[in-house]
């Protein structure tokens, strides 16, 4: 599922344009095969490919800048531009690798926040639907969280905070999908664990009202009416007008709490 936003693209492109402007705009076109070239010509050729939306060729040429001129200031720029080109080409693993290499060589560089952001976005772009393994979703969450911790006051972190909400909602959706699966099989303890995880770890997501109703169902099925009553009460206090509270209220009416339960 691709969830690239216009804001993401703008944030990524902003620095790429700043980096690319250093090339001088010579517009030289060369083959992507190995040819020893001066650094300015090689960088300009890479930028030219990027402008033509030939992203893989651009990435290969930016890599060549680093390979042929590893100690120049152009190599540092080319690492990030190469990572950005791989991102645009949809080669997220190569983009992550390039950005991580930049950070390992230049951890204190002023463009480090951009590199962290690019890594996070590479993972974010690969988030799949909730029926599949959520390893990449967790990696996106971790990468976004690291960016926010390291550089809380940058524009990249502001965008990352918005995406963290979406990622958490996605992870909560996965827990709900698994919990409902256990419910259908009558595995009430397992379903209870999943729904409680949503209410405890992802309580600000859109899935919380349903999770509380499902908890009410699961607790009633287990015969733990007091716990069901507590879940329904929390649901009623926080989401009194929701369809989930209406269902939970009906369930509690059908299974009244007795004095001995």
> Cβ(214)–Cβ(251) under 8 Å?
no
Residues 183, 185, 186, 187, Cα dihedral to 10°: -80
Q: What is the pLDDT of residues 46-95, one digit of tens each?
A: 999 999 999 999 999 999 888 888 888 888 899 999 999 999 999 999 99
Phi-psi region of 27 (alpha: psi -120 to 50; beta: other; left: phi over 0): left
* Whether this model's pTM surpasses 0.85: no
Q: Read off the pLDDT of each residue in 211-228 and give the average, rounded to a whole number.
A: 95
Burial of 133 from C-beta contacts in 10 A (0-12 / 13-18 / 19+): exposed
What band does 128 get if pLDDT is binned at 50, 70 and 90? confident
What band does 3 get if pLDDT is binned at 50, 70 and 90? very low
What band does 187 get if pLDDT is binned at 50, 70 and 90? very high
Would the pLDDT of 176 be above 90? yes
> Can you tell me the distance from the alpha carbon of 249 to that of 102, in angstroms, rounded to the nearest whole number?
56
Instruction: Provide CB contacts within 8 A for 23, sequence distance 6+.
Output: 40, 43, 44, 46, 47
> Cβ(99)–Cβ(118) under 8 Å?
yes
End-to-end CA distance of the chain: 46
């Amino acid at each position: 599922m691709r969830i690239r936003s216009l804001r993401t693209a703008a944030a990524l492109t902003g620095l790429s344009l700043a980096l690319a402007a250093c090339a001088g705009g010579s517009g030289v076109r060369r083959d992507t095969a190995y040819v020893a070239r001066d650094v300015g010509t090689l960088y300009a050729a890479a930028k030219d490919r990027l402008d033509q939306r030939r992203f893989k060729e651009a990435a290969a040429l930016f890599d060549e800048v680093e390979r042929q001129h590893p100690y120049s200031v152009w190599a540092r720029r080319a690492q990030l531009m190469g990572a950005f080109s791989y991102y645009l080409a949809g080669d997220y693993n190569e983009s992550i690798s390039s950005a991580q290499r930049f950070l390992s060589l230049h951890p204190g560089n002023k463009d480090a926040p951009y590199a962290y952001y690019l890594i996070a976005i590479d993972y974010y772009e690969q988030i799949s639907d909730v029926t599949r393994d959520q390893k990449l979703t967790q990696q996106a969450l971790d990468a976004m969280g690291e960016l926010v911790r390291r550089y809380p006051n940058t524009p990249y972190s502001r965008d990352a905070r918005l995406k963290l909400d979406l990622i958490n909602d996605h992870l909560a959706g996965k827990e709900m999908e698994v919990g409902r699966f256990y419910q259908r099989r009558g595995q009430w303890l397992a379903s209870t664990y999943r729904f409680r995880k949503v209410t405890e770890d992802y309580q600000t997501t859109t899935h919380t009202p349903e999770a509380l109703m499902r908890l009410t169902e699961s607790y009633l099925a287990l015969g733990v009416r007091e716990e069901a009553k507590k879940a329904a009460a929390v649901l009623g206090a926080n989401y009194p007008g929701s369809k989930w509270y209406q269902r939970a209220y009906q369930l509690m009416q059908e299974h009244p709490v007795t004095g001995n339960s």
